[in-house]
Structure 1
């Protein structure tokens, strides 16, 4: 909870100290003046300012304060220059009391600096009182230890949630936003419900404020859904990366990955065992063993060239045939690659034309629709001169020829676009596969040509040295064995990674299954029902007349704001009834929170609630409703009491039911030395 105990404003001039010093009580506190320019709003602004909530008024720092804090103050006919100014605000959370000081004008002290005294205002000068400096409106002031709003959040026993921001990250729901649902300032606050809410980059900020105040389960559920969605995306991305890394390495060795699941799933041991790498239709570990056998056979063989001349001749012939076959396959693959590349280019050009045609047809449809609203003849497909029918095509009009309308054209073009996009994607995939195949063929050709070269060298040697081709084969086999064993090691590593991802996926599915199937819990439904009941009851009390049947009023399940037949209630409200609706809704939030254990701190501020010539009887009901509120509450109302009716409405209230703070001709009076 938050309770305002005392506010002291100090303005120092050449003629001495001026200011304001009053205490506030639980329940209704009425700051009343006989004129609208006495400084009542300047007093209320100091409360916002000391709490670092001046963004609700419309800005940051001292610029939101009136000139009395910055430039000059009037004392009768004298105009005195302001030398220094600032304000003390004593607040309580029901257990502890602190006093906040923030300067408005002071050399050498930035207005972002606040001093927090861990005592009442009366005791801040005592030597044993602990004080510390903090800051507002600076990066991370909502989360850092010395950030005042981080401290204030803990002091009033709130735990602000992390919510989605407009830059696609999660941020803490700022206190300034929360209190914009409780503090209604004079200039902009009466335009609409939560119209004083500052823009701080939080998505659906009004919705988030109301969810938090009412302590709806949807906030926590949505948070869990967002966390699970992020987890799902991470697992899918890691799974795909794991697969692609293995495929790329396997392709380099002319191998193929088998039985690797394309999408995340819960894998059993036999699923993991089934994942393998195959080369020439042989499992990689078996293939490696066969290569090792070949290598060992070559180690045992030590023939001289003269001893295996016929074998070298035969092998050279077979190698040349293999080279010829691979060259033909490579040439064919390159032709297919170029063909696929031409197809891709043609499809891209066709897609450009289709997109252009879609844009043109949509433009034509818009112009047609605008024309029908403007009642132009051309929009009705009629000639504006002779009123004969005009076709939207240059093809001659024949009885057996049907011409598609613009809307049909758009649908047909979109269908064509989808077909072309599918074909484009397919050709891109084919092109990439062919590129991999070409690379593999070129590598194989290089090896075979190298082998043929060593075989020819052996054939034409005139001495009986060891076979050069035999040595080459050993080197090639040793290199291939080493590469495939490395690939086999990668397979084992990726399998272990896959086990971890499978376990994460199982945990994700388990958490997802625990989420409620419905958007609202039973508790949420009850809270929204109670909010609607209080809101309608308040509307009736306050004389809301813009809707004849208030049973039509609902609370939107999307925004939690009042609607009528699906539309914002404001659209059907007069100016004065819009003010009544704001009274009713702000009070209903407090009532519902108190009744259903919400997060409302229990404090409200209304600056000049009697907007747009509110009927005095309705104002009486407003005051009486505040006085009769159940649970903890503190409401500060700033009000101008000009006419006798308003004065009478206040006089009719029980003296003990509210705290009256009278503001004389000028709010800021000279302080005595002992003040």
Structure 2
């Protein structure tokens, strides 16, 4: 709940202190002036400014305020330069009262600084009153403890939801957005429903605001869906990263993984135990055991060359044969890699041609559709001269040849595109596999050539020398065993991570299944129905005539805004009826929220609502409707130039509203008592 109790504006000039000081009440408050340039809108702007909502007017900071706050005050023929200016706003949340101060022009004080006095305005200078400084319109001012809008959210007992943002993240539904549905300013606010809503990076901001004000269950469901989308992306990303990392490390060691799930799924213990790594068609643990046997055998060999000469010669021949085999395979794989690369380039070129053809055919289809709407013969595949059928192709017509139409062409080209994209993806996967195999072969060749060198050194060494090949082989086996041991340990660790991700995926699927099957709950449907009923009733009461049958009007279940046959009803409304529609919708939101326990704070501001010369009888109905509202405060800025408007206000019951008369110039010189 928000109630504005008092506004006090202070403007220090070279001729002393000028300002404005008025009280507001519950119910209807009419801020009336004889002239549109008296400063009435400047007074209302101060309310926005103190609350940090000036973005609804069209900007941030003091630049949205009129020159009277920044430059000079006129008094008769005199002009007095402004030295300092600021405003105090006393508000209440139903239980507590605070006073907000924000400067507009002040040396050494930023207009982003807001001072909050935890008391009524009359008591702000009493010792012991809690005073807090906060900031507004700075990063995190809506979430940090010292952010003014964080404080205001708590003070008004509003719990703002996190909603989808334009950058695919989530952000808090800012107070400025919510109050733009309740504070209708003079310049832009009357062009359409909630037209004064600033852009703050929230996706479908009008929809989110209406969901919040009406407290629709669908808002909570949307939050859940958005949270699920985030979880889905996060789990898939972590899963994909883990599998890629595993594959890189496994292939680097010349191993092949089996049973690795490429996408998130619920894994049993059996699934995890089936995740195995093989090297040379042997399970990795068995392969390590074979290496250990070979290593143990080498330790039993006599270390001198003379004792192993024949074995060294045999092994050198075998090693050189292996090198030749590996080189042939490497050459073959490099050729395959080059071939796959050429295939991908050709497919990419073909895809570009097909995409161009698809665009051209779609353009042709659009032009033909436009032609058919103009009732041209050529658009109906008919010659306008001889009325004979014509083909939408330049290929000569043949009686035995069926030529495809543009629509068939598009379907055929799309099918070709899908086929080529699949082939392109397949070739890229082949390239990745070939690249891994090339790396394995290169590593193996490096090892074999190093071994061959050691064996040759042994053959040409002095017989009493220690065998270099035996030492080299033992070092190689030891290094390979250590690498494979580390790989086994790493895989065991990642199995644990896979199990955690699998559990997360299971919870995600469970929460997704628990989402309501219907978009709207019964309560939501009842609230939207109530909003429509109030809206149509208000349109009828305020003299809306643009649509003869108001029962044609509905509330869109997508945007929650009024539509006719799916289109914005503004397009069927005259300028004055568009104003009546804004009155009706803004008031209907408040009425529906009051009846259905919504989140509406209960305060409305209308600056110059009688736009486009609306007849005074409808303005009177507008005022009387507001007077009958419960649990509300409505502040209306009105210019009473003509006698009809003045008579309309005079005929209202004097005890049913608070009339605040704004003189020719709203800002008058303060006496010493006002300072």
TM-score range, shorter chain: over 0.9
The equivalent residue for 2:629 is 629
Question: CA deviation digits over 1:571-618, x for unaligned, max 9?
Answer: 111111111111111111111111222111110001111122223332
CA–CA distance in structure 2, aligned partners of residues 355 and 97 of structure 1: 65
Q: 1:137 to 1:462 in 2, by over 3 A?
A: closer
Deviation of the 1:288 alpha carbon: 0.9
Any idea what the Cα deviations from partners look like across 1:213-260, whole Å, max 9, x if unmatched?
112222222222222221221111111222222211111221111212
Q: 1:10 to 1:312 in 2, by over 3 A?
A: closer
Contact 2:35 2:664 in 1 (8 A): yes
Mapping 1:225-624, distance limit 5 Å: 225-302=225-302, 305-365=305-365, 395-461=395-461, 463-624=463-624
* Structure 2 CA distance for partners of 1:649 and 1:457, relative to 1, 3 Å: same
CA distance in 2, matches of 1:211, 1:556: 12
CA distance in structure 2 between the partners assigned to 1:330 and 1:50 by the alignment: 75
Give the CA deviation at 1:383: 9.5
Cα 1:328–1:130 change in 2 (3 A) is closer
The offset of 1:332, in angstroms, is 2.3
**1:181-196 counterparts in 2 under 5 A?**
181-196=181-196
**Displacement of 1:462 after TM fit?**
5.7
Structure 2 residue 658 is the aligned partner of structure 1 residue 659 = yes
Residues 71 and 240 of structure 1: CA distance in aligned 2, closer, same or farther (over 3 Å): closer
Deviates more, 1:560-569 or 1:117-126: 117-126
Q: CA deviation at 1:169?
A: 2.5
Q: From the superposition, tell whether residues 635 and 347 of structure 1 become closer, same or farther in structure 2 (CA, over 3 Å).
A: same
- 2:303, 2:115 → 1: CA distance? 95
> C-alpha displacement at 1:281, in angstroms?
2.1
Assess if the C-alpha contact under 8 Å between 2:2 and 2:91 holds in 1.
yes
Change (3 A) 1:454 1:55: closer
> 2: CA distance between counterparts of 1:458 and 1:80?
105
1:484 and 1:83 mapped to 2: Cα distance? 79
CA distance in 1, matches of 2:113, 2:460: 92
Paired with 1:307 and 1:38, the residues of 2 have a C-alpha distance of 115
Deviation at 1:545, TM superposition (A): 1.9
Q: Is the 8 A contact 2:302 2:308 kept in 1?
A: no
Per-residue CA distance 1:403-452 (angstroms, 9 max, x = gap): 44444433333322222221111111112211211222232233333334
Change (3 A) 1:75 1:292: same
Deviation at 1:329, TM superposition (A): 2.4
> Is residue 217–residue 524 contact of structure 2 (8 Å, CA) maintained in 1?
yes
Greater shift after overlay, 57-66 or 398-407? 398-407
Measured after TM superposition, the shift of residue 389 of structure 1 is: 8.6
Q: How does 1:3-14 map to 2 (within 5 A)?
A: 3-14=3-14
SS at match of 2:672: coil
Secondary structure of 1:199's aligned partner: coil
Deviation at 1:384, TM superposition (A): 10
Shift of 1:2: 0.8
Aligned counterparts of 2:308 and 2:138: Cα–Cα separation in 1: 85
Distance 1:465 1:172 in 2: 78
How far residue 307 of structure 1 moved from its aligned partner, in angstroms, is 4.8
Report SS of the residue matched to 2:611: coil
Cα distance in 1 between the residues matched to 2:200 and 2:416: 43
Cα distance in 1 between the residues matched to 2:129 and 2:150: 21
- Contact 2:3–2:91 (CA<8 Å) still a contact in 1? yes
Q: CA separation of 1:103/1:452 partners in 2, compared to 1, >3 Å: closer, same or farther?
A: closer
Contact 2:272 2:495 in 1 (8 A): yes
Task: Write out aligned runs for 1:71-220 (5 A).
Answer: 71-220=71-220
Superposition deviation, residue 673 in structure 1: 2.5
Q: Spell out, residue by residue over 1:268-315, the C-alpha distance to the aligned partner (whole angstroms, 9 max, x if none).
A: 222222211111222111111121112112212227545555444444
SS of match in other structure, 2:558: coil
Aligned equivalents of 2:446 and 2:661: distance in 1? 98
Alpha-carbon deviation of 1:363? Answer: 4.6
SS in 2 for 1:292: helix
Comparing 41-50 with 160-169, greater Cα deviation is found at 160-169
Structure 1 residues 455 and 651: CA distance shift in structure 2, 3 A: same
* Structure 1 residue 49 corresponds to structure 2 residue 45: no
Question: What secondary structure, in the 3-state scheme, does the structure 2 residue paired with 1:167 have?
Answer: coil
Structure 2: gaps of 5 or more residues: none
Structure 1 stretches lacking a partner, 5+ long: none
Q: Distance in 2 between matches of 1:640 and 1:32?
A: 6
* SS of structure 2 residue aligned to 1:612: helix
- Work out the CA distance in 2 between the residues paired with 1:673 and 1:303: 110
d(CA) in 2 for partners of 1:587 and 1:626?
8
Residues 83, 475 of structure 1: CA spacing in aligned structure 2 closer, same or farther, 3 A cutoff? closer
Cα offset for 1:488? 0.8
> In structure 2, the residue corresponding to 1:225 is in which secondary structure?
helix
- Which residue in 2 is equivalent to 1:26? 26
Tell me the residue number matched to 1:642: 641
1:453/1:82 CA distance change after superposition, 3 Å: closer
Deviation at 1:132, TM superposition (A): 2.8
Return the alpha-carbon distance in structure 1 between the equivalents of residues 515 and 488 of structure 2: 41
- 8 A Cα contact 2:303 2:470, kept in partner: no
1:32-79 CA deviation, whole Å, 9 max, x = no partner?
223333322222122112212121112222222223333333434444
Q: Deviations over 1:175-205 (max 9, x none)?
A: 1111101001111111110011112221111
Per-residue deviation, 1:12: 3.3
Going from structure 1 to structure 2, the CA distance change for 1:506 and 1:410 (only over 3 Å counts) comes to closer
| Residues 85, 103 of structure 2: 8 Å contact kept | yes
CA separation of 1:307 and 1:86: change in aligned 2, threshold 3 A: closer
Structure 1 residue 570 displacement after superposition: 1.0
Relative to structure 1, the CA distance from residue 374 to residue 674 in structure 2 (aligned partners, 3 Å threshold; closer, same or farther) is same
Moved more, 69-78 or 603-612: 69-78
Counterparts of 1:77 and 1:190, CA distance in 2: 34
SS for the counterpart of 2:244 is helix
Distance in 1, matches of 2:45 and 2:319, equals 92
Corresponding residue SS for 2:4: strand
Change in Cα spacing, 1:386 to 1:452, as seen in structure 2 (3 Å) is: same
